[in-house]
Amino acid sequence: MSIRGSRRQGTPVVLSPDGSITKLRRHSFTQKDFDEAWLQELIRTNPGLLPIGEIEPAFAPLVSIGREVSTDVGPIDNMYLSPQGYLTIVEAKLWRNPEARRQVVGQIIDYAKEISRWSFSDLDGRVLAYSKKYCGSESGVIATLRAFEPVEESEEAQLIDTISLNLKRGRFLLLVVGDGIGESVEEMADFLSQAPQLQFTLALVELQVYDLETSDGRSRLVLPQVVARTNEVTRAVVHVEGASEGVRVDVPHVLNVSECETIGMLLLP
């Protein structure tokens, strides 16, 4: 059985203590009041805006470890690491840019392929460069995570092994973050999620920006929403043979299939 529907949104309002209601005006995608650099810095300094817990709890909480991270296939907009050693890669796009819809998914997958070739030392060097530029310190991966959450010396080796293994396997969370996710992008994510060779989770996150007039001037309200995400389902092909001496069960191979879960669509078995 399936339940399908398209996304619908109401208009947020602000209720004042005197009972008056102020409707918020959503920022138009065609306006040029902010750019992608603004969006990158917003999520760098406020990683909690990204609803990671709704997508992959193992990747939360986010610890910012990179912005405009250099790679051989181009700079990664934002990069994060969880205290458990799971890496999140973010590509930030304003959807008024025509090329965003056509290239963004392929672009972030190229980043994932490139990073899967990194060693722990490669990642550690990028984190050190980030901490020098943005934090005024010389902290690598372990020191950065330790500032966020205690890491015992006895746990360091295991954490490094976990990060190294996740890099090798391409066990990443890939986020496309924009101010308005178009239907064409959702269709691309849905198509890519059907490819069984994908070893990462891909999610599309929309940050809705509203203008809010206050006594101190104009402020902005930012509302995050998960538009779509891929879920990996493991299925085994089982072969059973009966014999007089007993029964033998073989599991010759396992299929990894990605399924796309989109807001407005609920699939029930």
197 in any annotated domain: yes
Number of C-beta neighbours around residue 28 at 10 A: 13
> What does the pLDDT look like over 32-44, one tens digit per residue?
677 889 999 999 9
Q: Report yes or no on 178 lying in a domain.
A: yes
27 in helix, strand or coil?
A: coil
132-166 tens-digit pLDDT: 999 999 999 999 999 988 888 888 999 999 999 99
Residue 90 lies in a domain: yes
Q: Is residue 95 part of a domain?
A: yes
- pTM as predicted: 0.78
Among candidate residues 171, 174, 176, the one with its CA nearest the CA of residue 186: 176
Cβ atoms of residues 189 and 221 within 8 Å: no
Q: What tokens does 140 get?
A: 């690598």
- How many domains is the chain partitioned into structurally? 1
Answer yes or no: is 181 within a domain. Answer: yes
Q: What is the structure's pLDDT at 234?
A: 42
- Which residue range forms the structural domain that includes residue 94? 2-232+261-267
Q: Which amino acid is at 158?
A: Q
Distances 117 to 74, 111, 129, 169, 176 between C-alpha atoms, Å: 15, 10, 19, 9, 21
> Regarding predicted confidence, which is higher, 11 or 52?
52
Q: What's the CA angle centered on 183, arms 55 and 204, to 5 degrees?
A: 20
Q: Can you say whether the dihedral through the CA atoms of 128, 108, 58, 251 is positive or negative? A: negative
pLDDT cut 90: percent of the chain above it: 39
226-245 pLDDT, tens digit per residue, is 887 776 544 444 555 555 55
Asked if 105 contacts 189 with a C-beta cutoff of 8 angstroms, the reply is yes
| Beta carbons of 89 and 108 less than 8 angstroms apart | yes
How many Å apart are CA 155 and CA 171, to the nearest integer? 21
Q: Quick check: is 242 in a domain? A: no
Residue 81 within a domain: yes
**SS3 at position 26:** strand
Q: In whole angstroms, what is the distance from residue 63 CA to residue 145 CA?
A: 7
How many Cα atoms sit within 13 Å of 16 on the Cβ side? 11
Give dist(CA 80, CA 67) in Å, integer.
9
pLDDT reading at 87 higher than 90: yes
In a domain, 239, yes or no: no
